[in-house]
Chain A
Amino acid sequence: MHDLPQQILIGLQLGSIYALIALGYTMVYGVLKLINFAHGDVYMVGAYAGIGAAWLLGTWLPSVVHLPPLIPSPLGAVLVLLASMVICGLLGLIIEQAAYRPLRTRAWIAPALFLGAAVGYVAYGIATNANRTPVSAIIIGIVAWAGLAALLYTTQRRRSPGSGSRLTALITAIGVSLFLENFGVLPQIFSSDPRFFPNDPPIARLAPNVETGLIFTVSLVLMIALTYIVTRTRIGKAIRAVSFDSDAAALMGINTDRVIAFTFALGAALAGAAGVLVFGLQHTKFDPYVGILYGLKAFVAAVLGGIGNIPGAVLGGLIMGLAETLVVAYGPNIGIDSTYRDAVAFFLLILILLFRPAGLLGKFAPEKV
């Protein structure tokens, strides 16, 4: 057990990643009561966005403007992190506008635009595969796009706002999640071949000599920034108000749709940061399906802490990271195989929910009669 401090540090590091992702789950759950299954996949996109940004700064830019490459350097690393956060934030925004908002409101333009673009692209791809000429493939794509836009226009106008059920939203979230994964697998997007951040494509590493504490420190800074936003700023108060009671928040003059959109963007940006931190600094393999397991565990962490509760998500993430690391490190000594690492999260979850049905920091609200 002499390496316990080292193991605890590794556990905290893993836990802080779970916490960053869990925050997005918990905040979205707070404002929308939705398990945003697509959140883990945003984290995956964050890793790819990081690769893209690192390639731009480290390889492409120096070749164009003859400057010394920005990678590796602290500035470059920060830029990569920010780029990934911005891209993922936008992705979160698009997901909300295209898939979730139209379930609650009569909005049709954003879904027609984004879902339509996806449908059009797929139709175009299928037409190309079927050996159509490029021009006719493009026409097929545009027709599919227009068809979907027309369908959404007619159906959305008949929607009575607020009628969407939570199950519908959940299945939609599953659909979005599967879409991001399988779209990423397409050879012209990310392809299914796994990648390593520093080697493929061959770019220099993000930061030389990464200390183990770096991931933890960066996560901590991000969490402090989030805490500031949520407790001190106007939009943060609005987020808390919408989470607590969205009707009452609307009566305060808070535009709840805008708050929900901002919450998605904020959560997604944190997931993007987590993607860069894990795959940019730890140098592990990743592919378009990497978000599933991380996302699942982060979600469990959010539930563990009490879903909807921001400090709870951090606590849940850290506990899970520690538990998992310690099981892998010391489990074999007491007869627990290290393959149980993926089950630890769920054992803990069941145990805690049986005693505290609303999670560690969640308030259990007995149903009103």
Chain B
Amino acid sequence: MLILENIEVSYGPIKALKSVSLEIAAGEIVTLIGANGAGKSTTLRAISGLVPSQSGRILFEGKEITNKPADQIVQLGVGHSPEGRRIFANMSVRENLELGAYTRRDRAGIAEDLERGLTLFPRLRERIGQNAGTLSGGEQQMLAMARALMARPRLLLLDEPSLGLAPFLVRDIFRIIQDINQQGTTVLLVEQNAHLALGIAHRGYVLETGHIVMADEAKALLANDDIKKAYLGE
């Protein structure tokens, strides 16, 4: 479904991604784990067109999307719930969700997906008219995910959905990610909490200073001694 071939990204003189290649098949949950500054978010930003890649190719469903404008990539079916949530704090929850469906014109379908999103995240239903800036951190995370789903993406990029959330909320969020996946959306999950991420993922990639250093089944990675030492704290 998604293929990255030797993607290279620089911010000015600093190379954030040196040569990243990965592959995601339809229906999978794939997780990208790594330390702070390893380039996880940059990988997602390169896929969704927020940062230009200096070299390499990105293919989505066989079509090349390298350096396409971000809005076109969304339209092709890639949703992105970005790092730091980036919700529109000056708008209501409903307006945020409506903006998520900006590319769509089918009113009935949008209403249906709004309902589906509110069923996945019942907390948002209670807050629907409220200003998004007044939501709690966990609710904002839910809103960011629900908003990304409103475009009906076939591939969902999730950046650190557990960041700054209370442990019971983190479990909720990860259960919902599994639900979303079971409803047919492929997920690329970037996480610092490697334990949880590998727990729900089918496969995983390990990113270190701009390189993919390991790729395997999630179970195998969980059992790997190096991974245990470096990322699982065992």
Contacts and interface: CB of A to CB of B under 8 A. Distances in A.
**Is any CB of A less than 8 Å from a CB of B in the complex?**
yes
A252 interface: yes
Contact of A244 (B52, B69, B80, B90): B90
Given A161-B52, A253-B151, A245 B102 contact: no
A271 interface: no
Interface stretch (A86-94, A232-240, A316-324): A232-240
A153 to B, nearest CB: 19
Interface residues of B, number: 27
B151 A250 contact: no
Task: Determine the main DSSP class of B at the interface with A.
Answer: loop
B74 A252 contact: yes
Contact of A237 (B49, B82, B95, B151): B95
Contacts of A249: 99
Nearest to B144: A248
A162 B69 CA distance: 12
B134 interface: no
Given A161-B52, A244-B88, A245-B86, A251 B98 contact: no
A254 B104 CA distance: 11
Given A251-B70, A254-B71, A255-B69, A244 B50 contact: no
Contacts of B99: 237-238, 241, 249, 252, 254
Contacts of A217: none
Contacts of B119: none
B88 A240 contact: yes
A177 interface: no
Given A240-B88, A241-B88, A256-B71, A251 B82 contact: yes
B130 interface: no
B151 A252 contact: yes
A309 to B, nearest CB: 10
Interface in B31-79: 48-50, 52, 69-71, 74-75, 79
Interface string B118-159: 000000000000000000000000000001100100000000
A255 B102 CA distance: 10
Contacts of A245: 86, 88
B25 interface: no
A227 interface: no
B89 interface: yes
Contact of B86 (A247, A253, A254): A247
B100 interface: yes
A136 interface: no
Contacts of B82: 247-248, 251
B50, B71, B95: which has the most chain A beta carbons within 10 Å?
B71
A252 B89 contact: no
Contact of B50 (A247, A252, A253): A247
Interface of A: 160-162, 234, 237-238, 240-241, 244-245, 247-257
Interface of B: 48-50, 52, 69-71, 74-75, 79-80, 82, 86-91, 95, 98-100, 102-103, 147-148, 151
19 contacts: A237-B91, A237-B95, A237-B98, A238-B102, A240-B88, A240-B90, A245-B88, A247-B50, A247-B82, A248-B82, A248-B87, A250-B49, A250-B69, A250-B71, A251-B79, A252-B147, A253-B71, A253-B74, A256-B71
Given A237-B91, A240-B88, 12 more contacts: A237-B99, A240-B90, A247-B86, A249-B99, A250-B70, A251-B70, A251-B74, A252-B103, A252-B147, A254-B99, A255-B71, A256-B71
